Structure 1
């Protein structure tokens, strides 16, 4: 007997043996995978892409150090300006990572009671462009089934809107971002995905069993595809077999490779996740001594802002531990207006929706070339957005312009979290787009990427605007992230656009279910019936 014949018989026997388990596995992950594609294509989408406009105008305002001292605040994790409903800014103060943020008016230093919830409502209404009533609001400090850990950001305000669609927004006020948005349809699709794709219903103490069972099922898919290919190569037919046999064979030629891609990358992802359980790496910075910010930046604001489009102001800790004012410039600022050209020398409301015209705002964004349609916004969300440009640093005690750059601060923050010397740094670069290593779920751009060699062997992603460690990716995790992104999610199709990519993946998923799983299971059941009839005679 020739080797070709032996291979054909062996693959045929194993293919039949794997058919039932593999077919059921393909149905389970095919349907749940389609649920994820449907969430992306048809789930609720923000109506506005750009963050709320904020004109930073502090001339004549009360010094922020005095404001904080009057309210008993001596240290804070973050002190920075955030957009206000009237188009100006408020001072936002973070005293603890999971606490409600506090808000103060720059003009008179008055604190806004219930300011964090009001800010969350303002942000949600801005991005969703809705004036619908809010029926419930709560500060969420833990991940749950409706807001899983992949969203990364905590705490968030969970805002439920009136209506029959179950519209719910999750707002992270510290970054003024819409962390997630759900409705009834998306919640149901998420339930299907969690139940069938990730099996999150398995108790945490039995996670090992989940990994083993899922591993066996996915491995059966991979083996089914490989034995099917062996049959296609070794068994040649002069004409297509009739009925389901013929269609199943044709489907094998087209769908074997996609099935291998999904199964192999999924198995790799499962093993990697079991070895290194996924968890948020986000860490807030060290508390800043706000009393050290005694130089009144507000007094010299006219000179500071001259010829500059300042997008944000924050009190941060510098590389040597001293407090600095970080002036984030607009990304539209001309080159040379940032880190390497400081310009002229620098020396020593109610939270309502009044005037918030969504139609006018959308029209203005469209005129500026900003994404406005759901498809454009979805595409841009995955590509990323830069909320500010380069930065100028001033000594918070003296007002002196510091030679510090964002890169210097990023290295200092990374040094605090690794304890490694700068000699271990292999590279540092500004990240302005999401990628497989720093994906859109982190929601922060721009960030600095600091690559470490021994003994760290990892890349750290740092938000210098908030002094935050956003993510940490070990070198050993990077190959799996690349495979999962390009092979499992098919991000190699990125040139065709996010919408087309998901449509293509969805079509292949449907084809795998309809032509491979359904027809294969039909053939297997028919075979078992024939064997049963033979056994009874």
Structure 2
């Protein structure tokens, strides 16, 4: 009697939990099925993905940054760069008010609407579209459904062309790079994935923490639905076997084929469902664990009086210079020069001398600044700093920024710093590393990458389809029992 009651209770709870999980499963599997179309098969193409700036020797600036600032009575800046586009060669100056202004490197005059002009120029460069009319150009300072947090870069200009495909290009003018690009098809897939997979509508109602807590609760119920289903089968498999044998012996019609298919397919996809649920739960748990306000970006302000040495008289060959800026840390100000090999050199703006290992020193300084529990002038143990020039499993393509300096702490934490923008690209603790690996292998099936992206996507789609079919058969069996 006790055994029978136990079986009945497990079966009852399995049905209840399964019914509660049905709609979320449908949402997640259908949106999961759409992901390969969005990210692979129907992903729009673009003519150019990387902008290659001219060497300083080809830009031929007539004036130094000091002459330009003095002519325009600018006494302090955050950063500057020298760039060339169809309207000429300009100093792109990030002012103390954090807005970009463009001054001619020939006569120091201000270019009206310089940042929007440069954003349009870059958008046309990436698309190789010089004829379509400009529909709109707006500054975007936050993420939304079409420009999601996975793109990382902010602020960006959203440049929209009046084209049949509705192409939008997101441009970070300060680094002359593209955040992402979307056509009408991709926008539709993004909306579908945002609403039905990550449930943005919950975040719109109560914020990210509210959404993540709700999803954790639902996925926990899914996990117990899976466990209870396997338990029911384990407790009752002899009964199921006997029913099957009796039916065959009497040659009677199988009226419970829906229940049988639910059990059989459920056993086949149970491991797949377990990997989806466990990796999803782990992903959400880590998000909740890391749910703390981000520290404001390092905001240096550099006085004009600190720029003693001309930027046109540096001990670096002009033909090698691809980008130049200025940074201030540890009581000194430096020209930050990036060459054609993406090597970064630091030259003191007052003495003109090169500072050795300065990019590593600046990365340590910024890592300490962004760390919420460290003090800038306190020693916490020796850290290891090395430059990362390509993406890998820990620092993946979604982080966008390269090259970066990886600052490794004795406890195993890695902080990735893009020194040319003074920004934290990402931070990876032990739990983040474990979650990242579980997500890419158990949720996104990167273990199938050896077979190619198309095969990997097909396998993940079949897995999601299997979970959907099991859930629908389970619902059908519930209806038949009514």
Three-state SS of the structure 2 residue aligned to 1:424 is coil
Tell me how far 1:67 sits from its aligned partner. Answer: 1.0
| Deviation per residue, 1:177-219 (Å, 9 max, x gap) | 2212223332232222232223222355476664454333212
Task: Return the structure number with greater relative CO, CA threshold 8 A, min gap 6.
Answer: 1
8 Å contact from structure 1 (residues 297, 399) kept in 2: no
Q: Determine the C-alpha separation between the residues in 2 that align with 1:195 and 1:474.
A: 29
Tell me how far 1:136 sits from its aligned partner. Answer: 0.9
The corresponding residue for 2:119 is: 120
> Does 180-189 or 154-163 show the bigger shift?
180-189
2:152 matches 1:164: no
Three-state SS of the structure 1 residue aligned to 2:91 is strand
The corresponding residue for 2:26 is: 27
2:328 matches 1:327: no
Q: Determine the C-alpha separation between the residues in 1 that align with 2:354 and 2:384.
A: 26
8 Å contact from structure 2 (residues 76, 96) kept in 1: no
Task: Flag structure 1 segments of 5+ consecutive residues without an equivalent.
Answer: 332-387, 529-537
> Matches of residues 230-241 of structure 1 in structure 2 within 5 Å?
230-231=231-232, 235=237, 237=241
Q: Determine the C-alpha separation between the residues in 1 that align with 2:194 and 2:389.
A: 31
Q: Determine the C-alpha separation between the residues in 1 that align with 2:336 and 2:475.
A: 63
Tell me how far 1:509 sits from its aligned partner. Answer: 1.7
Tell me how far 1:436 sits from its aligned partner. Answer: 5.5
The corresponding residue for 2:229 is: 228
Three-state SS of the structure 2 residue aligned to 1:78 is strand
The corresponding residue for 2:353 is: 400
Counterpart pick for 2:476 among 522, 525, 531? 522
| Deviation per residue, 1:123-150 (Å, 9 max, x gap) | 2122223232211111122333333334
Three-state SS of the structure 1 residue aligned to 2:92 is strand
TM-score, structure 2 length as denominator?
Answer: 0.83
Tell me how far 1:446 sits from its aligned partner. Answer: 1.0
8 Å contact from structure 1 (residues 152, 282) kept in 2: no
8 Å contact from structure 2 (residues 93, 102) kept in 1: yes
The corresponding residue for 1:462 is: 417
Closer/same/farther in 2, CA of residues 523 and 85 from structure 1, 3 Å limit: farther
Counterpart pick for 1:431 among 388, 403, 407? 388
Tell me how far 1:223 sits from its aligned partner. Answer: 2.0
Closer/same/farther in 2, CA of residues 394 and 148 from structure 1, 3 Å limit: same
Q: Determine the C-alpha separation between the residues in 1 that align with 2:406 and 2:89.
A: 29
Q: Determine the C-alpha separation between the residues in 2 that align with 1:431 and 1:459.
A: 12
Closer/same/farther in 2, CA of residues 52 and 281 from structure 1, 3 Å limit: farther
> Matches of residues 443-454 of structure 1 in structure 2 within 5 Å?
443-453=400-410
Three-state SS of the structure 2 residue aligned to 1:304 is coil
> Matches of residues 59-458 of structure 1 in structure 2 within 5 Å?
61-82=62-83, 84-85=85-86, 90-95=90-95, 99-131=98-130, 132-202=132-202, 203-205=204-206, 210-231=211-232, 235=237, 237=241, 243-277=257-291, 283-299=297-313, 304-305=316-317, 309-317=320-328, 319-331=329-341, 388=342, 390-417=343-370, 418-420=374-376, 421-435=378-392, 437-453=394-410, 458=413
Closer/same/farther in 2, CA of residues 170 and 253 from structure 1, 3 Å limit: same
Equivalences, count:
461
Task: Flag structure 2 segments of 5+ consecutive residues without an equivalent.
Answer: 249-253
8 Å contact from structure 1 (residues 433, 445) kept in 2: yes
Tell me how far 1:482 sits from its aligned partner. Answer: 3.6
Q: Determine the C-alpha separation between the residues in 2 that align with 1:175 and 1:270.
A: 32
| Deviation per residue, 1:228-278 (Å, 9 max, x gap) | 334555626478978434543442243211211111222233333334337
Tell me how far 1:478 sits from its aligned partner. Answer: 4.2
8 Å contact from structure 2 (residues 83, 92) kept in 1: yes
8 Å contact from structure 1 (residues 281, 472) kept in 2: no
8 Å contact from structure 1 (residues 282, 469) kept in 2: no
Three-state SS of the structure 1 residue aligned to 2:82 is strand
Three-state SS of the structure 2 residue aligned to 1:441 is helix
Three-state SS of the structure 1 residue aligned to 2:145 is coil
